[in-house]
Structure 1
């Protein structure tokens, strides 16, 4: 499976459909995490995700790009309380598993007053 396809399937199964049991299909056991609020390892991500999914996020993927073993996912994450986050997740893939993650998150974009007429997404 190609790296981009792997990450797209991961988002469909896990982030959009909330299937926690599918995480081991995609995430390596020795997963390296660069988000300081999430522990390293597959188990650390599962622990984080079980709490995250309780917030009932709605994920709208804007773009998925791939160069070599790096995959970039740009998406809108809307929560039931009206909070909207603009997120770019960056993954490194090796041997058909996600082995490393970085993210860039802009929180509460629903409060931003744009000085231009361009969409945030």
Structure 2
């Protein structure tokens, strides 16, 4: 059995390999052949996930801000920018690890709010609103 710390490192390495590096051959080994996808916007299995990433622009960038783990579950708070939509997604990804591989996935996605859109007045990711990071 792996530790929560090992599971966190595995998820971050897998996400970086697939989403940032687009190294599909290496990334394939991080996901279980029996991978279960619970996200409504992604087709089943690791094939569905990989096909989705192949379809988004090569400018896609994933970064994480917070990661927590308990037993075989990891939750990552992250941002997917450069997705071709004009607005980044802020995500909470829940991953279950089994046998040293990503075995199951759920997510909650939300468009990243600008300062003008934020009722709370606080950014959704990090310490800055998106327009403050990339001023026009």
Q: Scaled by the length of structure 1, what TM-score is found?
A: 0.85
**Unaligned 5+ runs, structure 1:** none
Q: Partner of 2:63: helix, strand, or coil?
A: strand
Normalising by structure 2, report the TM-score: 0.77
Question: Does structure 1 conserve the Cα–Cα contact (< 8 Å) formed by 2:79 and 2:88?
Answer: yes
Distance change (3 Å), C-alpha of 1:116 and 1:109: closer
Determine whether 1:61 maps to 2:64.
yes
Q: Does 1:14 align with 2:18?
A: yes
RMSD: 2.1
Matched, 1:51 2:68: no
In the superposition, relative to structure 1, how do residues 44 and 113 fare at CA in structure 2: closer, same or farther (>3 Å)? Answer: closer
SS at 2:94's partner residue?
strand
Which is strand-richer, 1 or 2?
A: 1
Mapped to 1, the partners of 2:122 and 2:78 lie a distance apart of: 16
Q: Which residue pairs with 1:100 in the alignment?
A: 104
- Give the number of equivalent residue pairs: 120
What's the CA shift string for 1:67-95, capped at 9, x where partnerless? 11001111122226631211111100000
CA distance in structure 1 between the partners assigned to 2:32 and 2:121 by the alignment = 42
Q: Which has the larger radius of gyration?
A: 2
**CA offset digits 1:34-64 (Å, max 9, x no partner):** 1122222222222222113x25212221111
